[in-house]
Amino acid sequence: MPQANAATNPSEKEIASALRIDRGQNGVVTLTLNRPHVKNAIPGDLWEPLEQIFRDIRETESDRVLVITGAGGAFCAGAELGGNMVNGGHPLDAMHAVNAAALALHTLTKPTLAKVGGDAVGAGMNLALGCDLVVAGESARFSEIFARRGLSVDFGGTWLLPRLIGMHKAKELSLLAEILSADEARDLGLVNRVVPDNALDAFVDDWAQRLANGPPLALQMTKRMLSNSLTMSFSQALDAEGWAQTVNFGSEDTLEGVKAFVEKRPPKFKGR
């Protein structure tokens, strides 16, 4: 991929400001898209850093759960149009960076949770849908807005939507580019829960902590099997389940889970 010139390459400080990472001692990592002046739209030079963040979380043992959210009352307005949209390179090269970020999120082995307050549109909507769980505030809005901008759907939307809501509804949302309320998105199956805006943080904190307290190996294998299930036969799914349980039965976490059950206390899983 052609390199942008030094004038357009963001510094480490700029990346850290725009893609803010907060790691708690409890294993929950929060990625905040922090460009509120443009509703957290992502410019061309931030797709590669976003991909790297997903890869780093995958490889960091102490990171157990990723929460993605946005600053300033919006989740993400998708790709920033105009300006540094393609980071000085060919549009196809720019899309390689977008696609690599989407794939890194999809292949992230740990549970991911989108906390959506405000608008999640275009690639921002698909960034949320690419997470394992989506929780929205009641004022959130969703749209595959691409067609209104003369664009086709990207960031994995053409793969995600039919699997989440069926082909005809996926085409409706993509071709008409309508805006959905949080309740409409939930009713379609795009959102797990809708909560009052002032309860969003506490609700997501609770879910994230419950995931972080869970057995890492077992959760990762369950996530992978569910993600692969639509391309597998029932027999293949059973084989995968047998393999996963064999790994679990040889782990310290399963022994801890059984011991905690017998001793009537919460388990303390370590991921091994």
Answer whether residue 39 is part of any domain.
yes
Give the CATH number for residue 37.
Answer: 3.90.226.10
**Contacts with 141 (C-beta within 8 Å, 6 or more apart), sequence order:** 118, 119, 120, 121, 179, 180, 181, 182
H, E, C per residue of 10-70 = CCHHHHHHHEEEEECCCCEEEEEECCHHHCCCECHHHHHHHHHHHHHHHHCCCCCEEEEEE
23 phi and psi angles, rounded to 5 deg: -110, 120
Q: Which domain holds residue 132?
A: 12-212
End residue of a domain, out of 186, 212, 238:
212
How many residues are recorded in the chain?
272
Instruction: Using the predicted structure, report yes or no on whether residue 85 has a pLDDT greater than 80.
Output: no
| Amino acid letter, residue 24 | G
Contact 21, 58 (CB under 8 A): no
| Amino acid letter, residue 19 | L
Same-domain pairing of 81 and 191 = yes
Q: Give the tens place of pLDDT for each residue, 16-73.
A: 899 999 998 789 999 999 999 999 999 999 999 999 999 999 999 999 999 999 999 9
**Contacts with 71 (C-beta within 8 Å, 6 or more apart), sequence order:** 20, 32, 33, 34, 35, 36, 40
- Say what the pLDDT of residue 1 is: 30
Instruction: Using the predicted structure, report yes or no on whether residue 223 has a pLDDT greater than 50.
Output: yes
pTM: 0.91
Of the pLDDT bands very low, low, confident and very high (cuts 50, 70, 90), residue 90 is low
Q: Which helix (H) or strand (E) holds 245?
A: helix 234-249
Same-domain pairing of 85 and 38 = yes
Answer whether residue 18 is part of any domain.
yes
Answer whether residue 251 is part of any domain.
yes
Instruction: Using the predicted structure, report yes or no on whether residue 87 has a pLDDT greater than 70.
Output: no
**Distance between CA 135 and CA 128 in Å, rounded?**
9
Instruction: Say how many domains are in the chain.
Output: 2
Answer whether residue 7 is part of any domain.
no
Same-domain pairing of 246 and 185 = no
**Distance between CA 47 and CA 49 in Å, rounded?**
6
Crossing angle for the helix pair 216-228 and 252-262, nearest 10 degrees?
110
Same-domain pairing of 156 and 222 = no
Instruction: Using the predicted structure, report yes or no on whether residue 86 has a pLDDT greater than 80.
Output: no
Average pLDDT (191-210) is 97
